Amino acid sequence: MPIMELDGRTAVVTGAGRGIGEALARAFHAEGAHVVLADLEGAEDVASSIDPTVQTAHGLRADISTEAGNVELVTAATEILGDIDLFFANAGVGLGTDVLSTPESDWELAFDVNVHSHRWAAKALLPRWLERGDGYFASTASAAGLLAQIGSAPYTLTKRAAVAFAEYLAITYGDAGLKVTCLCPQGVNTQMLHAGDEAAPGGNVVKLAADVLEPEDVARDVVAAINDERLLVLPHPEVADYMQFTASDPDRWVGGMRKLQRRVMGAE
Ligand SMILES: NC(=O)c1ccc[n+]([C@@H]2O[C@H](COP(=O)([O-])OP(=O)(O)OC[C@H]3O[C@@H](n4cnc5c(N)ncnc54)[C@H](O)[C@@H]3O)[C@@H](O)[C@H]2O)c1
């Protein structure tokens, strides 16, 4: 069984100013990794709370919604860390509702942040990783990327694309030494989950369908998956059963999801 120890490794985590990304950066640092935390805001404060001497944890202000933003992040992080061993594309947005109501600008931002940022980061990182024959690309998608998200078309599509991209990378570059992990949780107790309370009916799905985990629980599962170099991280283990259900009887699965949607919308 492969073992990827984080001790002595370098890691970059996006969306690390709060929530799951903050918990991931803290967990990687606790394992002995030298970390760069990146976010639109908050990353510097979290980094200095991890290591006030700013020697093993650094915060960077970064906007990963453009290719230039990803290139700048990879360049700046490489100046701080030297080679980047692990890049965790965790930043995400939970924008949008249904096909009729979601503005084009929300579709664009959802794809830029939840999908294109992954390939822009990979594009910047792969040349050096292929040269070394070693690199680790991890991403946060969602159980919505495996199963669909009631109430949000952009979230469903972008998270499914993120899972597909992780699989594609693992297939295409695995023989060249690339390791890939994709995190697919259901509800996690962060600002994004609670924003859904008011903004999108789909935000309430997790309250009906799953336990809400703490970011630290999820980060613990991620460290274990990275140690094992495992592709999928399913902090809610029932998601694996749902995946089997969707494959074995998709029509019945959709029927069950329609029923759940009626409950979420208050129709039942
Ligand atoms: N909370 C959940 O229930 C849940 C479930 C499944 C998947 N996820 C995914 O987990 C990841 C982390 O989300 P979270 O739950 O911690 O929510 P969160 O909203 O607390 O964190 C998301 C972070 O991404 C950052 N971000 C957004 N756009 C960015 C940009 N352009 N550049 C840089 N950073 C940007 C935000 O500033 C924020 O700090 C997301 O990809 C989300 O889709 C969350």
- From the CB of 62, is ligand 1 less than 6 Å away? yes
Ligand 1 close to Cβ of residue 191 (< 6 A):
yes
The atom number, within ligand 1, closest to the CA of 155 reads 43
**Three-state DSSP class for residue 89:** strand
Q: Which helix (H) or strand (E) holds 60?
A: strand 57-61
Predicted local confidence at residue 198, as pLDDT? 44
Q: Running DSSP on this structure, what letter comes out for residue 58? A: E
Taking 90 as the threshold, does the pLDDT of residue 264 lie above it?
no
Q: What is the pLDDT of residue 35?
A: 98
* Whether residue 36 has pLDDT greater than 80: yes
Query: Model-level pTM?
Result: 0.96
* pLDDT of 201 over the 50 cut: no
**141: its two tokens:** 């998608």
Instruction: Tell me, using a 6 A CB cutoff, whether residue 112 lines ligand 1.
Output: no
Give the ligand 1 atom nearest the CA of 112. 31
**Contact 158 CB / ligand 1 (< 6 Å):** no
For residue 253, give Cα distances in angstroms to 70, 243, 246, 248. Answer: 38, 10, 6, 9
Residue 84 Cα to ligand 1 midpoint, Å, equals: 22
Q: For residue 265, what pLDDT is reported? A: 80
155 Cα: distance to centroid of ligand 1 (angstroms): 12
Which tens digit of pLDDT belongs to each residue from 206-225? 555 569 999 999 999 999 99
The best mutation among 22, 24, 37, 39 to test binding of ligand 1, ranked by most ligand atoms within 8 Å of the C-beta, falls on: 39
* Domain extent listing, the chain: 10-238
- Element (H or E) spanning 208, and its range? helix 205-209
**Which residue CA neighbors atom 42 of ligand 1 most closely?**
92
Among 21, 11, 14, residue whose Cα is nearest residue 39: 14
Structure tokens at 163: 């899972």
Q: For residue 102, how many other CB atoms are within 10 A of its CB?
A: 18
10-238 to CATH, choices 3.40.50.720, 3.40.50.300, 3.30.950.10, 1.10.1040.10: 3.40.50.720
